[in-house]
Amino acid sequence: MSTEPETPGGRLSVERFIHASREKVFEAWTNAKSVSQWMRPKGVTSVDAELDPRVGGKLRLRTRGDEGDTEYTGEFRTLESPSKLVFTWTSRDTDARPTVVTVELSEDEMEPGCAVNLTQAGFISPEAVHKNGAAWDAMLDKLALLEKTKRKRRKKTARSSQSK
């Protein structure tokens, strides 16, 4: 796990390994119900997500939490299932300026699952880099936990089906 600003005030990078296939992780990024479950940084109690996952399609998230309501908007620029997605991301946490988020998913030859490499570029302030980096860090932890929970449910369902 790493979160580090690559250049002051401009870009951040977050990496995480998730024990799920690239296909399942890619789907978690492009399914509004799934996004509503895991895209919750610390202090966020609810997320309403609207996604149109196609190049040029819009995304809109409304969060409620400790810091009040926040709206995030953007547009999908690249969708290469199951390996890459790129979208713009604008909110008060980006100083109301559009940033570009790139998510790359790669398989690990040694361990089942995928590596998630997220970069976000276009910040104008170091404070926004750090705030967004911490948020992505927390959200990717929640995505990993969500996928782990889904995997356990699938195994349990498979076992109960076999015993019938």
Does a structural domain hold residue 62? Answer: yes
Domain that holds residue 87: 2-153
Does a structural domain hold residue 159? Answer: no
Does a structural domain hold residue 163? Answer: no
Provide the pLDDT for residue 76.
98
pLDDT digits (tens, 9 = 90+) for 20-69: 999 999 999 999 999 999 999 889 999 999 999 999 999 999 999 998 99
Displacement of CA 79 from its chain's centroid (Å): 14
Does a structural domain hold residue 160? Answer: no
50: left (phi over 0), alpha (psi -120 to 50) or beta: beta
CB 86 within 8 A of CB 76: yes
In this prediction the pTM is: 0.87
Residue 95, both tokens: 């100083």
Provide the pLDDT for residue 12.
97
Q: What's the CATH code of the domain at 111?
A: 3.30.530.20
Backbone angles phi, psi at 19, to 5 degrees: -80, 70
Does a structural domain hold residue 80? Answer: yes
pLDDT digits (tens, 9 = 90+) for 95-142: 999 999 999 999 978 888 999 999 999 999 999 999 999 999 999 999
| Distance of alpha carbon 64 from alpha carbon 150, whole angstroms | 25
Q: How many structural domains is the chain composed of?
A: 1
pLDDT digits (tens, 9 = 90+) for 73-93: 999 999 999 999 999 999 999
